Amino acid sequence: MTTAKTTTTNTTGASTELGSKLAYLTRVLKTPTIARVWDDLAAQARDLNWSHEEYLTAVLERQVADRESAGTTMRIRTAHFPAVKTLEEFNLDHLPSLRRDLLAHLATGTFVAKAENVILLGPPGIGKSHLAIGLGVKATQAGHSVLFDTASNWITRLAGAHQAGHLETELRKIRRYKLIIIDEVGYIPFDHDAANLFFQLIASRYEQGSVMVTSNLPFGRWGEVFGDEIVAAAMIDRLVHHAEVLTLSGDSYRTRARRELLAKDRDK
């Protein structure tokens, strides 16, 4: 009786000491998930007769999964998307001009690792911004840093840096992002200074980082936006050198929604 009680006491003491040691080690290693799950997984391992390697793998998988999830959440937050939209939410049936295989390839994010670009061209309202955000979200999930803004806001940011005398510093800061997304090129024309700033942004990322651009205008009309055919041509040359250009066509979702609403009213 005494021996059994002593054995139980020793086992409990050893378990407590081990738990304290693991709490300390996981704190030093900054692995909070392991600190939270090791005990439950240890019990599961004993019940299922896992090997030491299987138990270690299970613990590490939980830690890595939580860390990747937290990293993705942070990257999405710092990307400054106007709204988080996913490719899974996009209705591909309304955009038959979009190649499914190319979209699936872009969704892997490999173009970001290669510092390649993506250009989405097409009329307003067909979902170019949604696709750009969706691809941006996929890039964050693949571990890439992303920064999103409209073309006019990018110019405002660069103009402020230029006026403050630290444009080069700002461009270096932007280069830290693996992918930048420039939305709505073509909606607002730029003056000469703005066009030059935009060119410097594109040139600073040439073969260094990925750029994704959405525009309602074909390349042949970009000279109208930037007020200079030569600047526009030089910019397009750098953008398309290593790029996938998706020229999209289809009905505006706003026009389509209005048409469907009118049809319902007629059917009543």
* Residue 245 counted as domain residue: yes
Q: Which of 77, 110, 125 is the last residue of a domain?
A: 77
C-alpha 23/C-alpha 80 separation (Å) is 36
- Please write the tens of the pLDDT for every residue from 192-228: 999 999 999 999 999 999 999 999 999 999 999 999 9
Q: Is residue 230 part of a domain?
A: yes
Residue 266 lies in a domain: no
CB 111 within 8 A of CB 210: yes
Model confidence over 94-136: pLDDT tens digits?
A: 898 899 999 999 999 999 999 999 999 999 999 999 999 999 9
260 part of a folded domain: no
Cα-based distances in Å from 15 to 20, 26, 28, 103: 9, 16, 20, 53
pTM of the shown model: 0.78
Domain boundary among the residues 77, 102, 136 is at: 77
The residue segments making up the domain with residue 187 are 80-254
Residue finishing a domain among 51, 77, 103? 77
